[in-house]
Amino acid sequence: MNVAEIIDYERRQKAGKSIGSGRMEKAVDLVIGHRQKRKGMSWSSLGSKALAILKVVELNGEWQQFWFPETVI
């Protein structure tokens, strides 16, 4: 069991931090959902997952490393 990775919600709440997933869900909707919900679009589960992975790679600034790992120093 990965005890260190379990979130202590009570501690987070006492520190004034968010404990809900609403912000993350909204971010996913804005970033991924917007692209997938355009008129005439349809996505398979695999295609949807692939798009999400590529978007995360782009947002993390890892595009070059993802596509050309041998050229990254």
Angle at alpha carbon of residue 65, lines to 61 and 67, rounded to 5°:
110
Residues 3-45 have pLDDT tens digits of 777 888 888 889 988 777 777 778 777 777 777 777 887 888 8
pTM of the model: 0.49
Q: Where are the alpha helices (DSSP H) in 1-73?
A: 9-14, 22-28, 34-36, 45-59, 63-67
Phi first, then psi: give them for residue 15, nearest 5 degrees: -85, 0
User: What DSSP designation does 5 have?
Assistant: G
